[in-house]
Structure 1
Amino acid sequence: MSTSPSISLALRFVVLLPLLLLATITITTKANDLIDQTCKESAESTPNSQGASLNHLGLISITLVKKNVTSTTNSIKNLLGNANVESNMKKGLEDCLNLYSNSISTLDEVARDYRAQRFDDANAKISSVMDSSTTCEDGFQDVGVASPLTKQNKHVFQLCAITLAIISMQSH
């Protein structure tokens, strides 16, 4: 006994729809938990963020990004100082060092633009810092080695996302 193509398609839809909805809900919940955790950790590391205005939170978030970028830059320098670093790893680290070193001066510009309420400029520049974290991470995959900076790259990315959200709220 054969079923018509339209019934077969309808059955697939009925079976797959609940699975798709469950997967979407799970992914959304995990993403929200990650954002909440990052915000909580960031707020706890900056005591003057309690009761701060949105404008002040923007400056605090820019400062946190800069601290993390600077810390990541120092980690890269330490890793490069290891005499046993393999050539592909060294290439990835050098590329990341260049990206993050440029990001430090970019973050100074972000702070200036933000204070001057040039939110579009601040947005574009913080986006470039965010891109640096993913470009750094992707660079290790490109040369076929595991990134030693995954945690730092994710943290910089998340802090940039928070900063972008604050800038977006300020510009509306």
Structure 2
Amino acid sequence: MKFASFLLVCFIFIFLFQSSNSSNLISQSCKKASKNDPNLRYDFCVASLKDASSKLQPAPTNLEGLAGIAIQLTKSNGTNTVSMISKLLKEKSFDEYAKVCLRDCYDLYSDSLSDLDDAVVAFKSKDLDTAATRLSASLDNSVTCEDQFKEKKGETSPLTKENQVYFQLNVISLAFIQMLRQHY
């Protein structure tokens, strides 16, 4: 019985140590990335990655692991946004201009998911230049989506929050890729 208790204490200690190391890695990486990129919000970076990495076992132990998580998080968010846009397009409360914008946003986000798939493949094969290019293309799509609503006076984008979150996740992914490029 004492041996089982000892093993349980050891397991808890190892888990807490690993969790603490992952938390430090996230904080340090987000701090460095936010210093190098004025578009990256440190608090958002830390909160997003801590939440995502807390669901993973084992937790990331290096910048490469964090970059992979950031790209996957961006892709998951983009997939959710495509689903949301599909639902919005079925609503009758939008005028024709807003529906055209939403259809364009749907296409932009769908293209963006393809860019992220390419980024994942490039990242896994350590082709960081291609990964950065594909992430940049993905990032631009959320900005384009938001901007087109602004072209008509008085039109409000129903996707502002989603576009901002997607933009930030892309910025984080891209910043981490840029940091890795400096190490290779």
> Which TM-score applies when normalising by structure 1?
0.77
Distance 1:59 1:33, change over 3 A: closer
1:166 aligns with 2:176: yes
Unaligned runs of 5+ in 1: 1-27
Query: Which of 39, 42, 46 matches 1:39?
Result: 46
Deviation at 1:42, TM superposition (A): 3.0
Tell me the distance in 1 between the aligned counterparts of 2:108 and 2:39: 28
Query: Which of 142, 145, 151 matches 1:142?
Result: 151
Tell me the distance in 1 between the aligned counterparts of 2:135 and 2:181: 14
Q: 2:86 maps to what in 1?
A: 77
Question: Are the counterparts in 2 of residues 100 and 132 from structure 1 also a CA contact under 8 Å?
Answer: yes
Deviation at 1:140, TM superposition (A): 0.5
Tell me the distance in 1 between the aligned counterparts of 2:60 and 2:79: 27
Query: Which of 93, 115, 132 matches 1:106?
Result: 115
Distance 1:131 1:100, change over 3 A: same
Tell me the distance in 1 between the aligned counterparts of 2:51 and 2:178: 23
Q: 1:21 maps to what in 2?
A: none
Unaligned runs of 5+ in 2: 1-34
Deviation at 1:50, TM superposition (A): 4.0
Distance 1:112 1:33, change over 3 A: closer
Deviation at 1:46, TM superposition (A): 3.0
Question: Are the counterparts in 2 of residues 61 and 163 from structure 1 also a CA contact under 8 Å?
Answer: yes
Q: 2:162 maps to what in 1?
A: 152
Deviation at 1:39, TM superposition (A): 2.4
How many percent of aligned residue pairs carry the same amino acid?
A: 34
Deviation at 1:37, TM superposition (A): 2.9
CA RMSD of aligned residues (A): 2.0
Question: Are the counterparts in 1 of residues 119 and 130 from structure 2 also a CA contact under 8 Å?
Answer: yes
Question: Are the counterparts in 2 of residues 99 and 136 from structure 1 also a CA contact under 8 Å?
Answer: yes
Question: Are the counterparts in 2 of residues 43 and 50 from structure 1 also a CA contact under 8 Å?
Answer: no
From the CA coordinates, give the structure whose radius of gyration is larger. 1
1:56 aligns with 2:70: no
Which segments of structure 1 move beyond 4 Å, counting only runs of 4 or more? none
> Which TM-score applies when normalising by structure 2?
0.72
Greater Cα shift, 133-142 or 33-42: 33-42
Tell me the distance in 2 between the aligned counterparts of 1:68 and 1:39: 16
Distance 1:119 1:106, change over 3 A: same
Question: Are the counterparts in 1 of residues 39 and 168 from structure 2 also a CA contact under 8 Å?
Answer: no
Deviations 1:117-139 (A, max 9, x none): 11111101100111001000001
